[in-house]
Amino acid sequence: MFDVSIFLRHNFARVWALATRRLISLEIGYISSVMVTELLSPSLGLHQSSYHVQPSILPNLQKLCLSVDYITDTMVSTISKCLVCLTHLDLRDSPIIEPRMAFDLTNSGLQQINVHGKLKHLSLVRSQEIAPTYFKRVNDLGILLMADKCSAMESICLGGFCQVTDTGYKTILHSCSKVYKLRVFHGTHLTDLVFHDISATSLSLTHVSLRWCNLLTNLAIARLATNGDLSFLDLRDCRNLGDEALRAIGTLPKLKTLLIDGCDISDVGLSYLGRGSKNSLVSLSVRGCKRLTDRCICSLFNGSSNKEIRELDLSNLPNISDDAVLLLVKTRIPIFELRMRRCPLIGDISVIALASMQIDDTVWHGSHLRLLDLYNCGGITQLAFQWFKKPYFPRLRWLGVTGSVNRDLVDALARSRPFLHVACRGEELGTDQWDDMDDVYVQDEEVDFLEQWLLGAENESDDEMEDDVDLAELLE
């Protein structure tokens, strides 16, 4: 790990000329496209004519992941020609303005991809996080030229190709018969027609992501669901998908991860999940599905349905309240990750219920939760923090809260539980190396700094704390 910006351009190339021949994977968080080209080019330029980089630089590199200023024809062509063993290419850019022709990817650049025929995984993404820029110089012809050389491709990700239509995407599905992972972001011209005859292909898709593809309707998902091997499906921000799409998804027997943030689904739609499947779903995200209410928990976990779910995202749902969490607790499903950020009706009662959640007759204290995101939940007060001290939530590693509730209280919690990552600025939570330390708190008898703070600041006895909430009444 190092900072690319500390190197002058010609010095950076010199460093990599000395890299070990055994290097097979390289990822650089940010680098300019010009530096990439000079790094891989056989020579460093006229000003360094006495020093030449060997053509065999990084001769065994198989995986290259770069975030650059601009994805250009020159850079793509250089990478394709110089890295003869490359099997995995992941390129991402985030231009602040629309690039000029010389600093952009065109049909000509796509034609240069996979000249050695070994590429299995390809990702080309123009991110929208800084400005709404797209690959405007690539159309269906460019995709056709690329597909001719990529028949053995197994994974394809295309993001920001605003000029590519159904013709281009269908070319990929029909020409690349070995593709099992397909991802398309901001497919502004992608419609249901792409999947109209997908059952006639030999594809066996397992991972599909169609994010920000707003022309897709329920019909497309019904066609896509004919791929019975699908285990991962990401349909986030496809605004026209509704309950009928969930009806089709519910028939997938191997589906483990479903992301349907921002879709137009209802409580009834969630009841379709698990009806015809084998309860394989492990991770579900319905973030921002505004029509969902507390009843969605009953719909989702009706009878024996979806008992294998371990990761649930209920964030940004204005109609979800503490009643939904009480219903979830009563199911006794051992949820590992629960996200409820920006839910204005979620409050202290939810925390108390989760802390006392009983999975079976011997396991309680909310012991299975490893991640809990309550950032910007409207009803969280200082009372909730009393339930984060030991022995409650013994396996919790990630906690998201609003720091403005009480910064001293948050700091006391962090000191009390050194292996708990407390985030209070709205950042998304994730897992880290502490996740294997499941029992770190169970036998811990050290001083509880959080309890000390609570006792000092509130000056309450244990009996007074118990009087605040009658837990038995909450869970009845």
pLDDT for residue 270:
95
pLDDT for residue 156:
98
The CA distance from 392 to 366, in Å, is 6
pLDDT exceeds 60 at position 319:
yes
Q: pLDDT for 342-399, tens place per residue?
A: 999 999 999 999 998 877 666 555 568 999 999 999 999 889 988 998 889 988 999 9
Among 226, 228, 313, 309, CA closest to 262: 313
pLDDT for residue 153:
96
Mean pLDDT of 224-248: 96
Q: Is the pTM of this model over 0.75?
A: yes
Beta bridge partners of 39: none
Mean pLDDT of 448-470: 46
Mean pLDDT of 135-154: 95
pLDDT exceeds 80 at position 449:
no
Peptide bond into 418 cis (omega under 30): no
b/e sequence 194-215, b meaning 16+ C-beta within 10 Å: bbeebeebebebbbbbbbbbeb
pLDDT for residue 410:
84
Residue, of 27 and 433, whose pLDDT is higher: 27
Three-class SS of the chain: CCCHHHCCHHHHHHHHHCCCCCCCEEEEEEECHHHHHHHHCCECCHHHCCCECCCCCCCCCCEEEEEECCCCHHHHHHHHHHCCCCCEEEEEECCCCCCCHHHCCCHHHHHCCCCCCCCCEEEEEECCCCCCCCCCCCCHHHHHHHHHCCCCCCEEEEECCCCCCHHHHHHHHHHCCCCCEEEEECCCCCCHHHHCCHHHCCCCCCEEEEECCCCCCHHHHHHHCCCCCCCEEECCCCCCCCHHHHHHHCCCCCCCEEECCCCCCCHHHHCCCCCCCCCCCCEEECCCCCCCCCHHHHHHCCCCCCCCCCEEECCCCCCCEHHHHHHHHHHCCCCCEEECCCCCECEHHHHHHHHCCCCCCCCCCCCCCCEEECCCCCECCHHHHHHHCCCCCCCCCEEECCHHHCHHHHHHHHHHCCCCEEECCCCCCCCCHHHHCCCCCCCCCCCCHHHHHHHHHHCCCHHHHHHHCCHHHHHC
| Signed CA dihedral, 225, 226, 228, 230: sign only | negative
What percentage of the chain reaches a pLDDT higher than 70? 84
